[in-house]
Structure 1
Amino acid sequence: MASLPYAADAESPLKPEELQVLRSQYEKEGEYVGIQTKFNYAWGLIKSSSRAEQQEGVRLLSEIFRASPERRRECLYYLALGHYKLGNYQEARRYNDLLMDLEPMNMQAASLKGLIEDKVQREGLVGVAIVGGIAVAAGVVGSLLFKGASRKR
């Protein structure tokens, strides 16, 4: 069983020429592209700092996941990572939880779970702060309007 990379590995993009090698191989195989070639290219795309390339990587992995049951376990982690990088934390959590159900002792999935939970919590707090700020602003505006309306009487 191949070892999965840690989430931090997904943060370091391939050099453009390395990604080009994977892209060229993928394109050369055309409609008969092998699963491993497609998988390698998808992983290279997920590592990219380009959101469009990350999305394409997730799309390719989703195709592999649906078409190749024997690669699903491996795809779960990479799909979780791809969605994590795209900021789709609910999807990332869903794929990662499926992997954790299959492999409760998987250290990479456990590490990714921590990262996902951190982001969800941090973004949740930012969301609460934004909503709170909007509520305060609405209250101030409302009280000013109310004072203005009561002065006109």
Structure 2
Amino acid sequence: METIVQEVVPIEELKKFEKVYQEQLQRAEPSVKAQFDYSWCLVRSPYKRDLHQGIALLEDLYHKTTDDNLKRDYLFYLSVGNTRLKDYNKALKYAKALLTIEPGNHQAQELVAYIDKKMKKEGLVGMAIVGGAAALAIGGIVSLGVALARK
């Protein structure tokens, strides 16, 4: 799952699908395929702005379709995009929604496990940082108290 989540789109691929999407947008509403291809490229971009734009395009596609197969794809890539943004709560929401449509989807199950692992790891790292900062603050207060007591 790490490979899928960490994959970065080649710039040539992004530009190719952006061109198709923009050309269709100039004439009328882009096709579902053009919007999906472009959004999937954006979700694999290293830039947060692109990730947000890709997620918005995927959400638009999700709300427009009644096809469960398409919804499944959109939910998966919405989960991947939000995982890349480290918005793990949203990512889990989308992955679990996918599992309600297709409970046996192994990719979605792996994605949920991957997100849970990331949440735990980053939660522990966050707690360690807060704990370290608290220890430094307490050490500073104790040092200040000792210095004042010597005067």
Pair in the same fold by TM > 0.5: yes
Q: Deviations over 1:45-84 (max 9, x none)?
A: 1122233222211111112122334333321111000001
Q: How many equivalent pairs are there? A: 147
Matched residue, 1:146:
145
Matched, 1:39 2:41: no
Matched residue, 1:121:
120
Matched, 1:132 2:131: yes
1:7–1:108 Cα contact (<8 Å) kept: no
After superposition, the Cα gap between the structure-2 partners of 1:130 and 1:11, relative to the gap in structure 1 and judged at 3 Å, is closer
Q: Which amino acid aligns with 1:14?
A: V
**Aligned-pair distance for 1:137?**
0.8
Secondary structure at the aligned position of 1:32 is classed as: coil
Matched residue, 2:16:
21
1:81–1:92 Cα contact (<8 Å) kept: yes
**Aligned-pair distance for 1:146?**
2.2
* Distance across 1 between alignment mates of 2:13 and 2:61: 22
1:84–1:92 Cα contact (<8 Å) kept: yes
**Aligned-pair distance for 1:122?**
1.0
Q: Which amino acid aligns with 1:51?
A: K
Gaps of 5+ in 1: 1-5
**Aligned-pair distance for 1:10?**
4.6
Q: Which amino acid aligns with 2:46?
A: S
| TM-score for both structures, normalised by structure 2 | 0.86
Among all aligned residue pairs of Structure 1 and Structure 2, give the percentage whose two residues are the same amino acid: 31
* Distance across 2 between alignment mates of 1:7 and 1:32: 34
* Distance across 2 between alignment mates of 1:57 and 1:74: 14
**Aligned-pair distance for 1:7?**
5.8
RMSD (Å) for aligned C-alpha atoms: 1.8
Secondary structure at the aligned position of 1:105 is classed as: coil
Matched residue, 2:98:
99
Secondary structure at the aligned position of 2:97 is classed as: helix
* Distance across 2 between alignment mates of 1:36 and 1:7: 26
1:7–1:81 Cα contact (<8 Å) kept: no
Matched residue, 1:3:
none
Matched residue, 2:50:
53
Between 85-94 and 69-78, the greater mean CA deviation after superposition: 69-78
Q: Deviations over 1:70-126 (max 9, x none)?
A: 333321111000001111111111111111222221011011112111111110111
| TM-score for both structures, normalised by structure 1 | 0.85
**Aligned-pair distance for 1:9?**
3.3
Gaps of 5+ in 2: none
